[in-house]
Amino acid sequence: MKVLVPVKRVADAYVKVRAKADGTGADLNNVKMAINPFCEIAVEEAVRLKEAGTVTEIIAVSLGDKSCQEQIRTSLALGADRGIQVETDAELQPLAVAKLLKAIVDKEQPDIVLLGKQSIDGDNNQTGQMLAALAGLPQGTFASEIEVADGKVNVTREIDGGLQTVALNLPAIITTDLRLNEPRYASLPNIMKAKRKPLDVMTPDELGVDIAPRLTTVKVEPPAERSAGIKVESVEVLVDKLKNEAKVI
């Protein structure tokens, strides 16, 4: 069984990101970059399935400029077998990402595409669903548990009312949620081995995909700073301020 795991290069989750002065985007100069946390969970789950003997090959895929090879190599160090990079300097929006992944799915024919439910930069939560629609494959989103058996995969997914389990015929698309697992750290020997694992590079043109953006970012700005609170002498003063200054009552 073959598993395809897309991974995205994003700013480290513990780094405070600031908006550019001109409002055109986030300032990522000298910012530590990492695998998107939800993508890291997907890699870990694929590795666990391989360790259980269910999966035979894990392919890590990343889309972007040459720097995203770092995240592919990290995935290889965590247990993926080979990597694919679709190299482009263009802005990639969810629909373009889904189209590129669909082209790779057609090429590689994986049994499962296991990807994070969303990225922590765009926060769109769209790519997995778009990919399932484009590829015509069943989907299990927000997975908190995955069981593969007899040509099917049971996905326990988190919904507003609790948990829901869906049975999907393979091949299928699965997006991971936070409670699926806790990712491991890459060991030094595995980091060294990852340097020798194969990594193929291709372009959107080679895949025949149009990645022209459909949306335009108007402005990026930080949230408004909250003003400091004050102490009041009595309940009467509090009510007066809420009514006449804040105008919330």
Question: How far is residue 71's CA from residue 142's CA, in Å, rounded to a whole number?
Answer: 22
Q: Which tokens belong to 65?
A: 């400029």
* pLDDT value of position 181: 95
Question: How far is residue 123's CA from residue 56's CA, in Å, rounded to a whole number?
Answer: 31
* pLDDT value of position 37: 96
Closest CA to 129 of 159, 157, 98: 98
Helix (H) or strand (E) holding 63: strand 57-64
* pLDDT value of position 107: 95
Question: How far is residue 102's CA from residue 84's CA, in Å, rounded to a whole number?
Answer: 13
**Domains located in the chain, CATH noted:** 2-244 (3.40.50.620)
Question: How far is residue 31's CA from residue 14's CA, in Å, rounded to a whole number?
Answer: 11
* pLDDT value of position 39: 96
Upstream peptide bond of 171 is cis (omega within 30 degrees of 0): yes
* pLDDT value of position 225: 83
Q: Which tokens belong to 26?
A: 């986030």
The pTM of the full predicted model, rounded to 2 decimals, is: 0.87
* pLDDT value of position 224: 83
Cβ atoms within 10 A of the Cβ of 186, count?
17
* pLDDT value of position 38: 96
Phi, psi of 53 (to 5 degrees): 85, 5
Taking the chain (249 residues) in runs of 10, the rounded mean pLDDT of each run is 96 90 88 95 97 95 96 97 96 95 96 96 94 96 93 92 93 95 94 95 95 91 84 91 87
* pLDDT value of position 33: 94
* pLDDT value of position 56: 95
The string over 119-157, giving b where at least 16 C-beta atoms fall within 10 Å of a residue's C-beta and e elsewhere, is bbebeebbbbbbbbebbebbbbbbbbbbebeeeebebbb
